[in-house]
Structure 1
């Protein structure tokens, strides 16, 4: 299942992540400043709907899309994002010691069932009687400039909110209890969106930005893609890549004539992959693939299995989605390859991508080893260039 958050708000994304959900983020591009409504509550509803609809219009496959927007109401006046220090300072002075209502519009669109549900969550917020010095210091941080109502409850502004009445998450920007109800309405149980923590391997934005250059860049990606290509049966063009990362290997497979669809848990890595493989990547867990049974001819995993807690979980999912005769091409013994290249001995702890272990586990799922090759680094350190084995399992 593809679950999309139609919002660029880091707070909304973090709220979902804290609840065990890793959404795909697509920013709507709706111009909020030019939208008006009869009341602050209706404005929040309308903006949420516009955001969700704008993202749905860009999709080329089914998804469940959530659009949200928050508006603070004080004495019937709507307060959105101030945008400038001057406006933020003026608003905070007007808000101090006051009580406001934080409205968050929620629109859930399920494209497969063709359902659109629009709801509103409202929470009463009590503000501290801030001094001018406190307001100036807060505005100087830049935080109140980019949030609805010029304040946060989960950041630097948390100390300036004395009390709330209602859902705390709604003040952050997304009501989890309301979202659970909306999902149930379209037949999606809340726990269906959970990402199992045992296989949640994510990279933050900093790591994603330097991932390629610290992993051998295009030369190593090209070498990996050539090895994978050599093990893909003739005529295999559609490939599902697990842990697609920044898409650097997937892009090389495309250059070799394959159509690559990729999944990864890290939204920050996927920001790079979306440039290399536009329209063909999405958030997805290799241990819980959002793919139907026996739908795929080839699955590829480059440098994934050594990272997971239990490679058998991934093997089981691969076997489930592969058609009879389909193949799984994966790198193995990555940890050992790097150790030997640096002149060290084998690891005493058997890695999850150890070939002996994988062959035994794969057989239980009808995956039989029937091909192998390898490619040379470059590596990440100053030692010798490691040799990376690549193997092919075929689905019985």
Structure 2
């Protein structure tokens, strides 16, 4: 079963976590809708209208088919809508109004499937009962900053959880997304919920594997050698994206050499280590479908990635898409044809996806022209007293067309 492209049109960490906990890894595209300037006849209709605007705004930016889900939540008390308070003063006033009472948390959902051009707009509503908070509890809660950025000035899955005494309805809806409702909406456009489950990837690592990864791959010396070689081939200045950034060990060395580096990786465990080295510059991402707009990068780097792939062509296509004209793609390549046999591949087996002749031909089809090369030594990589391996590094340049 092929997993469809599923996009979450929301910046909410709680919605993303809820989907991830249910086995779904959506692509996140923030809509940019100005929520403060939208009005409706009722709190529920406001939530549904905002969700619809978010979904439509993201759909308008797509250049490929996807199923887009927009969500927005509004708390209703006595017929009045309460969104994000924004300031401590407003949050404090709202929490005092809410204490000891109940409200209705409305979450609007809008699903737009670009293949069928089917748009579904739904609303889920859950009654929430609030504890009789003291002024000191309200002050302490507001000081955490949490109630300032959530609808209704409270959470049920965070620091505000102890202040919610009960709910009637779907718990996940209070968090910001009704999973049972989304399942039904997806079914209407022909997508069964299990089709969204994320299948295990050979590129994902658990925490133990991530913790020992650097040592098993030559450690800081090899990373420094790789970064210095890459630096020789990079244009000066500009934005560098490292694919399969891993623990960030090479990226950090590139930063030390004066480069602005961002990284993507499929493995959350690897990225937890990378965030120590490259704080604020990382994202979970698939090299086959990068979360960047066209022509945004001056350089893309892939160290020890392509040889792991079943097909390198989709990655080359994505690299060409996000590179600016005259931007460069730098990647390691197969050391020699001897590695085919060392890896157990015979003459009739599938070619290594980092084989030089294969890469040159495929890259050219995407407007990437080979125009540079160098090598670096694999420090701490010699086996059984053998010689230290030498890794070829090649550079492609994006044509200006």
Query: Do both share a fold (TM > 0.5)?
Result: yes
1:119–1:220: structure 2 CA closer, same or farther, 3 Å change rule? farther
User: After the TM superposition, which residues 175-214 of structure 1 pair with which residues of structure 2 at under 5 Å, given as runs?
Assistant: 175-197=178-200, 199=202, 201=204
1:193–1:244: structure 2 CA closer, same or farther, 3 Å change rule? farther
Number of the residue aligned with 1:281:
290
Alpha-carbon RMSD: 4.5
Aligned to 2:350, which of 359, 367, 372?
Answer: 367
Deviation at 1:42, TM superposition (A): 0.2
Number of the residue aligned with 2:376:
376
Q: TM-score, normalised by structure 1?
A: 0.63
Number of the residue aligned with 2:266:
265
User: Bigger CA drift: 362-371 or 83-92?
Assistant: 362-371
Q: How many equivalent residue pairs? A: 300
Aligned to 2:122, which of 119, 141, 146?
Answer: 119
Q: 2:133 aligns to what SS in structure 1?
A: coil
Number of the residue aligned with 1:289:
none
| 8 Å contact from structure 2 (residues 84, 148) kept in 1 | yes
Q: 1:105 aligns to what SS in structure 2?
A: strand
User: Bigger CA drift: 178-187 or 31-40?
Assistant: 178-187
1:224–1:196: structure 2 CA closer, same or farther, 3 Å change rule? farther
Q: TM-score, normalised by structure 2?
A: 0.62
Deviation at 1:368, TM superposition (A): 3.5
| 8 Å contact from structure 2 (residues 264, 282) kept in 1 | no
For residues 149 and 377 of structure 2, what CA distance do their matches in structure 1 show? 44
For residues 138 and 365 of structure 1, what CA distance do their matches in structure 2 show? 66
User: After the TM superposition, which residues 164-183 of structure 1 pair with which residues of structure 2 at under 5 Å, given as runs?
Assistant: 164-183=167-186
For residues 100 and 18 of structure 1, what CA distance do their matches in structure 2 show? 26
Correspondence 1:98 to 2:104: no
Deviation at 1:88, TM superposition (A): 0.2
Correspondence 1:63 to 2:66: yes
1:190–1:302: structure 2 CA closer, same or farther, 3 Å change rule? farther
| 8 Å contact from structure 2 (residues 131, 165) kept in 1 | yes
Number of the residue aligned with 1:303:
304
Correspondence 1:19 to 2:22: yes
Aligned to 2:57, which of 38, 54, 58?
Answer: 54
Q: For structure 2, which runs of at least 5 residues remain unmatched after alignment?
A: 215-219, 235-241, 252-262, 275-279, 293-300, 317-330, 357-372, 381-387, 394-401
Number of the residue aligned with 1:138:
141
Deviation at 1:4, TM superposition (A): 1.1
